[in-house]
Structure 1
Amino acid sequence: MGLIQEKFFVQFWGLLGGLAALLIWYLPWRFQVNDDEVMMWLVSGAYTGSPESYAVFLHPLLSWGFSLLYKFAPGVLWYPLVWFTLTYLSFLVSVTQVKKKLGATLSAQIWALFLFALYAHFLFFLQFSIVSGFAVFSGLIARFGNPAEQNDRYSRLHRTDLLILFGFLVRPEVLFLFLAGATCINVLVFKHTFLYKRSAVPLLLGCIGYGISILWIANADLSNFEQLNRQRSGVFDHPTLQLNKEAFRARNPELYFFSHGMIDFGSDAKLVEKLPIWKKELDNMRWDWISPDAVVKSFWTYVQHEHFLLALMAVFFAFSLLVDWSKSVRIAAVLAFGMLALSPFFLIKVQIYALVF
């Protein structure tokens, strides 16, 4: 019976994951943030009447690919379909790695169940950073493999690197975030020297990809447009603003309205000139807002909106303590300290908690 379970472990979870994706596709799933909606409108042509080849937050190669798909078959929902497909393939590769590591033991079944819960949850609430995170995560664990395997095949490309590549194209920053996190954890907890060698190819893919993005944007004369969107994002997602909106109601009404998405830059070009001023003002105020209360407020916002994910994280952490309490505590401490250190500089949103988890 155990042999049959091990033989069909991946097939069982793969079939379950496929049926879940098919069922959720016909249920009222939604995008978790408006960014996905806007990017889908751009690449599909719903926003301008013709498919656009640049969707701001996606890598230009992926935006261009989406625009070609919509030109070829405009009636197909390519954007969410690609997200569903990439998430499913990432889940399948992750389950395969669990089977390679643990066989078909009870521990392996629990790991697969946790992965399935995350997978199903984020199919209901699609978000491009999470899609990227799933793809990069599964590609990296396949690349890192088993520490006992000390051969050099990990210094070359292999099939699961395609997930790392596509994850990078979906959200380039995620790959570098994962590599930085894995390196910090390895330095402080695992201390495996082989990991650095196996990280070389993903790092190279990211650097080449960023170079292509810079050249593409410059060649398409989109540098000013890209810079404007970076400025808008830098102000809108500033932790000082988003965690203290009411403080700006009387102090700076325009900035307060902007924080609620109630300012249209297309109707008043002069507002664009205020973005660098607002960014500087928020940066200067950053240190005034740093306190234990600010950290609690940021975390409580997450608690209020993500009960399921928070419960899943708590249960999984308890499970990890049973597996190896020492490493689990140290890893959790490293990640928690990293988030605390970055919280004054970046808005720690729900998707960031999910990526760290």
Structure 2
Amino acid sequence: MTDSRTGRKAGRVCVLAVFTLLLVAFPAIVFDFYYDLNDDTLIKDIVSGAYTGMPSGYSVQLLYPLSWLLALLYKAVPNAAWYGLFLCVCQFGAAFLIAVRLTALFQSAKGRIMALLAEFFLLFGLFLRELVIVQYSVTAGMCMMCAVFLFITSDNKKGRNVIPLLLVVLAFMIRTEVCLMLMPFVLMAGLFKWASEETIFTGANFRKYLALIGGALLGMLVMFSLNMLAYRANDWGNFRDFFDARTKLYDFYDLPVYDENKAFYESVGLSRESYALLENYNFALDESIDTWLLESMVRYQRRQLNDTFGLVSKNSVREAFWLYQQRILKQMSAADLAVAAAYGLYVVFCMIPAVKNRQIGAVFRRIVPKIALLLVIRSVLWLYLYMMDRVLERVTMPLLMTELAFILGFLLYDLRRLEKGAEPKTKGITATTVYLLVIFLLAAAFAVNFGRVNDEYEARARADMRWHAFMDYCREHADAYYVMDVYSATSYEGASYSEKMFEDVDNACKNYDYCGGWLAKSPLARKKLADKGFRDMQSALLQEKGAYFVAAPDRDMEWLLAYYAKRGVRVQCRCADAIRTDSGDVAFLVYDIRRDDDETGR
């Protein structure tokens, strides 16, 4: 009997492994896997050694224990795409775990097949872009989504919920902010499971759920402490202060307009020319832009912005509420519509048998508190994002994913309760109807989403031609060093410059760096300059055998001339070369920055 049960479990796992491989194969064959933004490629460059020549655990964005492990893998096998593989394993691993749970919830082969079809069309109908064009914040969101779903649908009598706990800690290491944003959903899932126990207030249940909460908090605390310990060194500690001030200024407060706040800028010693570097994100050029200056700007902006119960924000509560309302009424995406449909489906699904059995009051008492609390949590989070003006797709998609997982978890939980009490002749009819409806709607969404992702994929291919031309140029001129204008390195015609995860993997040290960004002025950035014999970027561009500046053809370089002039150095900005694509289009211009009295050039 035991051998037979073990054999069935092994067979089910094999089937689900094949299902997951099909999930991976579809986007891999039809498209290919991309890093979404240059943030993702920069993390990859740091941990792989492509940034400084040596794999490093100091990726800044990922917590150090995770970065250290990835760097260790790159040291063992340097030419593998470990970071991309890790992100894909997290995302499709979450899909695998959800599939395992779905097949465990349904006893019949028909129910399992329909559940897997629903998962297939849900993933590719709503989240195809996120699976093809991978962003680490969304990966953290998928881990949280999976954790919530597994937690809600677990068996109260059997489940220890270790896997959801580990997924929460993993999400915390990948993207701390996303994990913390979604923690209210995890806490509500715990409250829901606790309330669904036959006897709520028992010592065993107190120990069970407090142990889960304590385990998650302890895991996060340990990872956070190890991260803090790793960055305790003076150089990294000072940089973290700079990084935090930069993040607050750019992501939450914005730069105060120079002309309207001239008195403040003069009081902190920031010239209009240096302000231009902050404005175009090329602040790595100016060593006077330091932690003290950025923190002064942050404090100044706090006094200018809205203060709601101690929360400083760009938008007031009223403005945020209006924006939130506009999204619901006029700007709903496919994922938004799916979440709204899931709410409606859940209510209808619960009410049909309630009307039939004349149990409307009892059903209302069961579903209204759950839906009300879920709506409160989602509304508070959306209002917060609108107040902070951080309604970015890489932030909102994890929120929608987790909310959808929550509602579907409710649906499956009540579906099991209904089927256990249903008559043999009617058992399964409601479930079949629900799944057919879900599959039909998601298949329609898949048809629409496929075209959208295909258009973006083609746009990225056009952008790739230009970015690959730049990287090929750098490899061909390996003895030189290039400083890239930040805004020139972001996108082309709306498509982000990035790299494919598993095509032409090259982890050799790159001989270029950005003139700003979140890694600017870090110990790694200074090491990269020092390895080339440079003290800082400002002087590197002026040395006889120094660095070249690279920018898009349409970028005006007057800001650079004005900056050096303010420093008492008259320079010429001579176009030394043009980087062309295979079709002959000029992708970037290479500038030789030299003093006016230097006629030799390079």
Corresponding residue for 1:85? Answer: 89
Corresponding residue for 2:299? Answer: 280
Residue 189 of structure 1 deviates from its aligned partner by 11
Corresponding residue for 2:25? Answer: 19
Comparing 119-128 and 286-295, the one that deviates more: 286-295
The CA distance in 2 between the partners of 1:256 and 1:83, in whole Å, is: 37
* 1:72 partnered with 2:76: yes
Residue 60 of structure 1 deviates from its aligned partner by 0.7
Amino acid at match of 1:79: Y
Residue 35 of structure 1 deviates from its aligned partner by 1.8
The CA distance in 2 between the partners of 1:254 and 1:348, in whole Å, is: 31
Q: Cα deviations across residues 40-88 of structure 1 (Å, max 9, x unaligned)?
A: 1222222223322200010111222222222232222222121112111
Q: Cα deviations across residues 110-139 of structure 1 (Å, max 9, x unaligned)?
A: 355324545532122211111112123324
The CA distance in 2 between the partners of 1:176 and 1:296, in whole Å, is: 25
Aligned to 2:231, the other structure's residue is in SS state helix
The CA distance in 2 between the partners of 1:351 and 1:89, in whole Å, is: 20
Structure with the larger RCO, 1 or 2 (CA within 8 Å, 6+ apart): 2
Residue 36 of structure 1 deviates from its aligned partner by 1.2
The CA distance in 2 between the partners of 1:251 and 1:87, in whole Å, is: 46
| Structure 1 residues without counterparts, runs of 5 or longer | none
The CA distance in 2 between the partners of 1:20 and 1:167, in whole Å, is: 25
* 1:153 partnered with 2:151: no
Q: Which among 49, 52, 61 is matched to residue 48 of structure 1?
A: 52
- Structure number with higher helix proportion: 1
Comparing 105-114 and 281-290, the one that deviates more: 105-114
Corresponding residue for 2:316? Answer: 290
Larger Rg: 2
Q: Cα deviations across residues 212-241 of structure 1 (Å, max 9, x unaligned)?
A: 111121158521112211211111111x53
The CA distance in 1 between the partners of 2:274 and 2:342, in whole Å, is: 40
1:1-357 alignment, distance < 5 Å: 10=16, 13-23=19-29, 27=31, 29-102=33-106, 104=111, 106=114, 109-111=117-119, 113-143=121-151, 145-146=153-154, 148-150=155-157, 153-154=160-161, 158=162, 161-184=165-188, 191=195, 195-219=209-233, 221-238=235-252, 240-241=253-254, 248=257, 250-251=259-260, 262-272=280-290, 273-287=292-306, 289-290=315-316, 292-294=318-320, 296=322, 307-323=333-349, 326=368, 327-328=370-371, 330-341=373-384, 343-345=386-388, 347-357=390-400
Q: Is the 8 A contact 1:302 1:349 kept in 2?
A: no
- Structure number with higher strand proportion: 2
Give TM-score, length-normalised by structure 2. 0.49
Amino acid at match of 1:225: F
The CA distance in 2 between the partners of 1:297 and 1:143, in whole Å, is: 32
Residue 151 of structure 1 deviates from its aligned partner by 5.4
Q: Cα deviations across residues 301-335 of structure 1 (Å, max 9, x unaligned)?
A: 99999945445444444444444574445423431
Give TM-score, length-normalised by structure 1. 0.77
Q: Is the 8 A contact 1:144 1:198 kept in 2?
A: no
Aligned residues: 341
Comparing 303-312 and 84-93, the one that deviates more: 303-312
Q: 1:255 to 1:173 in 2, by over 3 A?
A: farther
The CA distance in 2 between the partners of 1:289 and 1:151, in whole Å, is: 47
Aligned to 2:52, the other structure's residue is in SS state coil
Aligned to 2:96, the other structure's residue is in SS state helix
Residue 196 of structure 1 deviates from its aligned partner by 4.7
Aligned Cα root-mean-square deviation (Å): 3.9
Residue 353 of structure 1 deviates from its aligned partner by 1.4
Q: Is the 8 A contact 1:236 1:258 kept in 2?
A: no
The CA distance in 1 between the partners of 2:277 and 2:88, in whole Å, is: 32
Q: Is the 8 A contact 2:144 2:171 kept in 1?
A: yes
Identity of aligned residues (%): 18
The CA distance in 1 between the partners of 2:68 and 2:251, in whole Å, is: 26
